[in-house]
């Protein structure tokens, strides 16, 4: 029965319909089948009920010849069994196809050794630690290689959602959640947060890049921050990759935290009325112990960001560059 209904749904839905993104993972077709099956089932019953309602309204409307109630049977066992049994069977079919698809999302596909990636969610950015030590603000995967994401949250509940993969999983503080799948299409796909997690929830996005082969992924994973890169470049990379950009704009536009434009060298006023010049030691304190001094007019919401000294130097250089920029 499950198989028949899946075939039926597949026949009806065919290729990914135009309003849906591409099916870029091994589980996407199954999710689309379940969706199509429930959609067309609901559409059928909606049409049936609307048509019957209209027919009955017209047929049994009030007429002069029919002012007295007509005798009618009070009970029909066969009818009762029919309209209880059919929905019950349909609900079991929905349960069957959904469970079958869901179980594929919790089991690794057999094949190449799985790619295991640690995901950290925090207000309001994603961080992906890839094998070999490469961390990044974007997710990198290999086409046709089974993948397992092990996800943790540093603060509140987030939800990792990749529409092209048809995958969504809550990321819950205090425990690890997992997502297993195999990306099938090379390309770059959007990642969004699908759990309302506060002010900048709507900006909490990233990308998933699926490399066509392992060599391409390895080349990316090897390329660290080049030692020759200028401090400003390093600072800009830190700014983008460590999630600073989620709360601090580089161009003066308002976000959760103070903008970085023209911040360097400025005399900042704090919530307790004291003032200080924005210099290296202030920037360092703000990154490692953000709650120590809160800029007046802003909330105490920034988590400490464990940057190393060179990264802090880079951010300082980047702040200077933002001030000097026209
Ligand atoms: Cu994180 Cu919404």
| pLDDT mean values, one per 10 residues, the chain (326 residues) | 48 57 90 92 95 94 80 85 93 93 82 82 87 81 91 90 93 84 92 93 93 90 60 82 87 87 87 86 86 88 80 80 75
Atom of ligand 1 nearest to the CA of 156: 1
Gap from CA of 121 to ligand 1 centroid (Å): 8
Q: Which residues contact 265 (CB under 8 A, 6 or more apart)?
A: 277, 278, 279, 320, 323
Bridging pattern class, strands 115-122 and 147-153: parallel
Using the mean position of ligand 1's atoms as its centre, give its distance from the Cα of residue 199 in Å: 9
Helix axes 28-59, 2-13, angle to 10 degrees: 90
Q: What is the number of the ligand 1 atom nearest to the C-alpha of 171?
A: 1
The pLDDT, as a whole number, for residue 146 is: 92
Task: Give the residue whose CA is nearest to atom 1 of ligand 1.
Answer: 158
DSSP bridge pairs for 188: 209
Determine the atom of ligand 1 nearest the C-alpha atom of 123.
1
Distance 195 CA to ligand 1 centre (A): 5
What pLDDT is stored for residue 221 in this prediction? 83
Rounding to the nearest 10 degrees, give the CA dihedral for residues 53, 59, 60, 63. 140
Q: What is the pLDDT of residue 142?
A: 93
- Provide residues with CB under 6 Å of ligand 1: 124, 158, 193, 195-197, 201, 204
């Amino acid at each position: 029965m499950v198989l028949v209904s899946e075939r039926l749904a597949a026949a009806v839905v065919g290729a990914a319909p135009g309003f849906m993104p591409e099916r870029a993972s091994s589980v996407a077709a199954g999710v689309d089948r379940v969706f199509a099956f429930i959609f067309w089932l609901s559409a059928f019953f909606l049409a049936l009920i609307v048509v019957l309602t209209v027919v009955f309204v017209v047929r049994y409307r009030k007429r002069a010849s029919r002012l007295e109630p007509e005798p009618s049977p009070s009970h029909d066992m066969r009818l009762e069994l029919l309209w209880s049994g059919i929905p019950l069977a349909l609900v079991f079919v929905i349960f069957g196809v959904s469970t079958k698809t869901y179980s594929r999302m919790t089991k690794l596909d057999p094949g190449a050794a799985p790619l295991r990636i640690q995901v950290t969610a925090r207000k309001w950015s994603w961080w992906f630690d890839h094998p070999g030590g490469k961390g990044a603000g974007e997710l990198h995967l290999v086409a046709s290689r089974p993948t397992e994401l092990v996800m943790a949250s540093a603060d509140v509940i987030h939800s990792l959602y990749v529409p092209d993969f048809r995958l969504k999983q809550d990321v819950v503080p205090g425990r690890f959640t997992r997502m297993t799948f195999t990306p099938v299409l090379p390309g770059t796909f959007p990642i969004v947060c699908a759990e309302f997690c506060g002010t900048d929830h709507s900006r909490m996005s990233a990308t998933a890049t699926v490399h066509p082969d392992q060599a391409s992924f390895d080349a990316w994973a090897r390329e660290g921050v080049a030692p020759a890169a200028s401090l400003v470049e390093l600072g800009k990379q830190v700014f983008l990759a460590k999630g600073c950009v989620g709360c601090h704009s580089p161009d003066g536009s308002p976000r959760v935290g103070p903008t970085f434009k023209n911040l360097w060298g400025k005399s900042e006023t704090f919530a307790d009325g004291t003032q200080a010049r924005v210099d290296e030691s202030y920037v360092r304190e703000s990154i490692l112990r953000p709650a120590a001094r809160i800029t007046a007019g802003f909330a105490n919401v920034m988590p400490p960001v464990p940057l190393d000294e060179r990264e802090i130097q880079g951010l300082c250089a980047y702040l200077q560059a933002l001030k000097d920029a026209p």
